[in-house]
Structure formats: C-alpha cells, structure tokens
Structure 1
Amino acid sequence: MTDPTTTTTTPHTHAPAAVISAQPVVLPAPGRGTDLRVRVSAPATGGELPVIVLSHGHGSSLHGYGPLADHWAAHGFVVLQPTHLDSRTLALPADDPRTPRIWRYRVEDLFRVLDRLDVLEAAVPGLAGRVDHERIAVAGHSWGAQSASMLLGARVLDADGAPGDDLSDPRVGAGVLFAVTGLGDDLSPFAREHLPFMRPSFATMTTPALVVAGDRDQSALSTRGPDWFTDAHTHSPGTTSLLTLFGAEHSLGGISGYEAAETTDESPARVALVQRLSTAFLHSALRPGDTGWKAAATALEADPEPLGALRTP
C-alpha cells in the first residue's frame, strides 16, 4: 500500500492536512531499564487537537502502524506511539528479568506518555499550545489492544479468577481496540502456560470503545474461532461498538504498516474503512455533538457491498 498521509479520503467535515512528526522523543523511565522512545505526529495546522496514544502489537515499534497513525494525524489528532519493551528494535532476550512483567510495563508506558504530554508536545516545532489535554483516547492492536483496554477499565484476572489491579485512567475518554484478545477461559494450552497475563475481564470496561475484529482471525492462542476477538464487546457493560470486518485476518487488511511482511490479508479498501470509521468514532466520542460517527455508521449500513458490519450499543 502507498502512504496516504495527505491524500486519504476525509470523513464528514475533518479535512486531511499535512502531517509533521518528531521521533524519537526520549522520556526518562527510571526502573524500566530502557528509556521510553516515542513518536509524535500531528497535523501541521489547527488547534484544540485531541490526542490518541497508540500501543503497538508484539514486536513492532514507534515506526509501525503508519496506515493508522498517519491517517489520524492528517485528520486532526495528535498521535503518540511509544516503543514497548517487546519491540524487535530492543531485542530483549527471553530470559531478561523484565519479561514476565512486560504486559505491565506496557501499561506503565501508556501512563508515562500521558504524564509527560507536555514534554511530547514541546518536542514538535509549532505544536505547543495546540493540543487539547482534556480530549484523550487510547488505541492498540493485538497485545497493544490489551494494553490499551486496561486504561479503559479492563482488568487482568489472577490464577484464582480474582480481578487484578484497576489500571483505568480517568484522563482517557475513548478507545479503539483492534484484534483485542478474548477471555482467558479459551486460551490454548501453550498460552495458558506461557501467557498467564492473558486473562482479561471486560466487566468493568466502561469507557466508550470501538472493538474491531476480523471474521477470519483464527489465533493459535485460543481454542475458539474468530469470535474470540469480539469478547471485549460481548462482555463489556454495553459501552462498546463492534466492527466486524469480512474476510479479515489478524492484520485487518494491513493496519500494522505499509507493505508490512506480517500482513496476510492485504486489502487497501478494508484499511480505508478502518481508517474512516475509527476516525469518525474518536472525533464523536471525544466531542459530544459531532455527528461524524452516526453518518459513517449510516453509510456502512447503506453500502450494497459492505466490507464489514457494525453493531452499536
């Protein structure tokens, strides 16, 4: 796929803009072992810009997810992309003492980004004073979606099924979860043994969210089929919407990067739909009165050959 940073189709009234970015912006991270590196992208013009913190999937980095980050920035968001400890760019060995807690370090990375929003804002020339610190969303893909869901109110269950720490963040007003892993009861034997943190509960995930799943996303981590990736919608308290993409596998058409090798179901049209609907959802969720989400949902429903189906609360 080509880079659509300044040429993507615009949803409703949010016209695309040129994008400026800075990377890496390094945030000191005492106790983490490695300082946190972040990419900051934003439209070159405009003010009162809402924020999206984007958590990458396993092995990726601040350089990934261009189809999402570029589109969101071109359509009025400041996009912050931290590089988590599991990134291939850091090459942590399997026996690194931080490995068992990487899931928790990931969540702490997202907190650190929000805590140092002023530093990240100042790192991009011309961005200072243009960011709306009261309108913040989180998003993530795969493991990144689980990380983001913690800030929305999801919790990790311990071995006895008791909810772990409440890691929700009141600063976050909305989220988008791409291919978020489902309930731990349906983990494969390998995942049960090696990924004990992958036991989420969505019962307290009350922050509005859009869950995006592919109807051909068959994971080796689960004994269930693709519907495993819809659990965040099914088991949350009714605050989520669900976009099911027809024919989509785990990369949902290629959201993880331009020409990414791990994309097994490349579909520019599917990615464009994800871009449009996620952008409309986040603008409307963070700005009450914005009608873009309703218009986008209506357009999908009216499409004679839709690429997906939408279920709203």
Structure 2
Amino acid sequence: MLPHVAVCLLVLAVPIASWSYKGDDGPQHWAGHFPTCAHHHQSPINIPLKKGLHHDTSLGHLDFHGYASNVALKLWNNGHTAKIVIDGNASVSGGGLPHGGKYWASQIHFHWGKDDKMGSEHAVNENKMPLEMHVVHYNSKYENISVAMHEPDGLAVLAFFGEIVEHDNEGFAALISALQKVKNAHDGQQLPNSTLLSGFMPKEHNKFIRYKGSLTTPPCSESVTWSIFTDHILLSKSQVAEFRKLYVTDSTGDHLVDNFRPLQQLHERHVTTNFKPSENSATALAPLYALVAFSIGLKVWV
C-alpha cells in the first residue's frame, strides 16, 4: 500500500458518535454531536441557474492524472454508502484548486434515493436527480486525509449527477456486479484490476460549478472545495436499482436508501463556474436544464 493512501480505510470515518440519515441520529440531530454541522459554510446546496452563477476566469480546467491507469479499487458497504477505496497515484490539479496544489484521489462514494424521484445531494433550481457520485481527493501537502479533512484547503470533491438512460453504462459494470456481493454493512469486494477511474466519469468533464463547503456527513468539516460538473454519469434504471438493494446493517435491517443530507443555506458564499453561464442552453448549461426538465417531468407524471 502506498504511503499517501495508507489511511484510506479511515476515509471520513469518525468513530466518536453514531449518526444516520433518519431517526434520533438523523441530520436534524447531527449538530448535537458534531457542532460544525450547524456552521454557515455547509453542504450540499441548491445551485441557482443563471442569476446565481458567476464566471470565474481564473478557474480554468482541472487536470486529471492516473485516471486511465490501473489502481487498486475496493468496494465497501459501510452502512451509509457504497464506497470505493482508491489505492494508487490518481490525482487532480489546476482548476482553481487552492494554491494550485495536487490532490490525491482517496475514495468514491454515492448518494441515492428509494426511487427515481430524488437521491442526489445537490440540487439545481431546487430539483434533484436519482443519484450523485462524489470523488474525494485530499491535498498532497498534508500527511493523510484524516489530517486534511480538518484544514480549510484540505479536500477537493468532484460531484457528478447520475441520470437514468435506456442502456447500461459499461464503465460501471464491475461496480454493479460487486454491489451484489456487499449487500450487508461492512462487506467488501475487490474490483477487477482492469477497472479504471476514468470509466466512472462522463465522456465530457470539462465544465464545472465551484463553491466552498463541507463534508455532507459528520463531522461536516468545512474543508471542501466542490466542483460540480454539468455533464452527468449515465446509468440504466436497473443499474441504479442495485444500489437500493444494500442494507444499513444486514438483511434483517433496513435497505440503504435516501442517504442524502438536506440542502443547506448558501449564506454569503458565491457560486462560480469555469465557463460563461450566458452560453446558450445547447452548450454549457444543457445538462443542468435537462436535470430540471427531468425532475419536473417526474413531478408531473409519477
């Protein structure tokens, strides 16, 4: 195991208090054990189109390193999400990340709903998608992610909305197969060596929305530079359904669904883009307008 990923198994795990997505340990009670969850730079947020977006010419584009190379990937059901631990040299840099530093890829995890009506954490014009994928990176200037997650420039998370389409996404085939073997909490499954991080990404991933926020799970550390991409990951209905077959404990417990935090207030923060929001809807904003149309359609027809 490489030095900079030696603590990946500890990713975002803080065993000082229990928490969940409902009941007495649900989001409305998180701040009682994790005070930062009540601060004013929290995530996720609603992304307002047009008027709320500002083009920041200094952002440029993110540079991806090692995403098309073989890295060791292990899938875990941790009772809160399906998490892929990354053991390798994949990283991102540029794109207006703090101090232009390199951020090591540490893990991927997902948020989804009990049905196709919602599931994503972030929203666009108050509308949500069935799933959201987060690729978590930590600043290479820190010893490990456990240290970085408490620093203002410690984490960089890439977020992608999941859209349901007719055909399976072959880049997710190995993950979907592995989900069937980690149905109970604490189950793990190594993904095939041929599985590439680039396979989880949309074909186009150049345009993103940027804001400063927090972890969306306890301890809610306000250490995250968010990049929310306008292009979606495309999954079939049956592929998304496999996430809903996981359990929060074991097969005697509840299914792991609706694992998303409620939207948080933006307060004084600014939401910026690395593209001109004035570009017509057939270009940069098209996927986000499609998200709104999709959500409206669900509200009308479901």
What is the TM-score normalised by the length of structure 2?
Answer: 0.26
Q: Which has the higher helix share?
A: 1
- Where relative contact order (Cα < 8 A, 6+ residues apart) is larger, the structure is 2
Normalised to the residue count of structure 1, the TM-score between the two structures is 0.25
User: Which structure shows the higher strand fraction?
Assistant: 2
